Amino acid sequence: MRHFAAPGRVNLIGEHTDYSGGLVLPLAIDRGIRLRVEPSDRITLTSEQFDGGVDVAADGSGDAPEGWGRYVAALAQELGDLGRPPAGMAGSLTSDLPAGAGLSSSAALEMAVGTALAALADFPLEPLALAAAGQRAERRAVGVPVGIMDQAASVLGVAGHAILLDCASLAHRAVPLPPDLAVAVLHSGVSRELEGSGYGRRRAELEQGLAALGGRSPREVDPDEAVAAARAAGVGDVAVRRVRHVVTENRRVEATVAALEAGDRPALRRLLEEGHASLRDDYEVSVPELDLLVGLALEHGAVAARMTGGGFGGAIVALVDAEGAEQVVTATAAAYAARTGTDPLTLLTTAVDGAGEREEP
């Protein structure tokens, strides 16, 4: 038996920027998907956590499976298109990543399966080529036009670091997380699936607005200029606000990296607050539960907090003083439960290395 693992991710900042060649700052978290497999003619997988199993040809062809099997089949097909020989595998999958929390369980599944399929076929694959195959598999499997952030975070993760990724050039570097800060994730309990969410619509609205920039990247213009250009092109208020979010968010990513490197807590607080407000007001992907959780986290002592991931539900990320982190999380969760009747799932997480083959656990 061989073991493969791929982590989920939480994004510190840089939301809805990946699919327009922007900047993102995610970290791979200490929760993810593990596979225990041996070579086989087909791809057959079972799981205790996920409903149903997977049984497809080694190249992913055949009747499209349902549920999580769709991602497995689509990834095998994408790797086949890249020239992977059709070597199969049989085994089981376990997950300690809550689904629907916005922690990229589908990207972790794709990266675990892809790492295993490449290794079992002795097929060399660069981490970012695997990430891009996962991004395409997502579209093939469920028709959602995601960016590359989630898959890239799962393969590029570095212990103790966030990953600054330029989604245009795919250049990346690891940014050390200050050791005196802990990363907390609190799930609102509003389950989110990209499929069926407004994700594709947001992307289309943004692209309408970006067309008004006359071929310039949203990273080349300042916010006032972008808004003026979009208004002048008559694209409508919604598209103007989508563009404003992306232009300002890219700048916040750069400023957040600087603030992390300087250990500047007030700046981190302001940047994450501004990022949250922009996602709420300009990109309109927050929900009242996420707004409430962010407010409560700050009130109960978090250094900084904002919604994380695609939105429409899911989780918030909070930076908390490492000393006393548990208390901040517990107090925030209790206050949220008192207000909403929902006990939020909470994680105090650390940044880990990206997907790969592991020793026997």
* 75-168-7 Cα angle (round to 5): 45
| Residue nearest ligand GLA (C-beta atom) | 310
Judged by beta carbon, residue 146 or residue 239, the one nearer ligand GLA is: 146
Question: Out of 7, 310, 344, 354, which residue is the one contacting ligand GLA (CB under 6 A)?
Answer: 310
Distance CA 87, CA 121 (A): 5
Work out whether 246 is an interface residue with ligand GLA (CB under 6 A): no
Work out whether 149 is an interface residue with ligand GLA (CB under 6 A): yes
User: Which of the ranges 16-24, 113-121, 155-163, 177-185 carries the binding residues for ligand GLA, by CB under 6 A?
Assistant: 16-24
| Residue 252 DSSP symbol | H
Work out whether 147 is an interface residue with ligand GLA (CB under 6 A): yes
Using CB under 6 A as the binding criterion, the count of chain residues that bind ligand GLA stands at: 10
User: Which of the ranges 13-21, 115-123, 224-232, 328-336 carries the binding residues for ligand GLA, by CB under 6 A?
Assistant: 13-21
Work out whether 249 is an interface residue with ligand GLA (CB under 6 A): no
Query: 173 forms bridges with which residues in the sheet?
Result: 164
Distance CA 98, CA 113 (A): 18
Q: Are 106 and 100 in contact (CB under 8 A)?
A: no
Token couple for 121:
């076929």
Work out whether 29 is an interface residue with ligand GLA (CB under 6 A): no
Work out whether 192 is an interface residue with ligand GLA (CB under 6 A): no
Work out whether 354 is an interface residue with ligand GLA (CB under 6 A): no
Q: Are 24 and 165 in contact (CB under 8 A)?
A: yes
Q: Are 84 and 57 in contact (CB under 8 A)?
A: no
Give residue for tokens 């003619």: 41
Collapsing DSSP to helix, strand or coil, 43 comes out as: strand
Question: Out of 309, 313, 344, 354, which residue is the one contacting ligand GLA (CB under 6 A)?
Answer: 309
Q: List the catalytic residues.
A: 150
User: Which of the ranges 86-94, 144-152, 182-190, 268-276 carries the binding residues for ligand GLA, by CB under 6 A?
Assistant: 144-152
Judged by beta carbon, residue 95 or residue 106, the one nearer ligand GLA is: 106
Cα separations in angstroms, 20 against 28, 136, 147: 22, 16, 8
Q: Which residues bind ligand GLA (CB under 6 A)?
A: 15-16, 18-19, 146-147, 149-150, 309-310
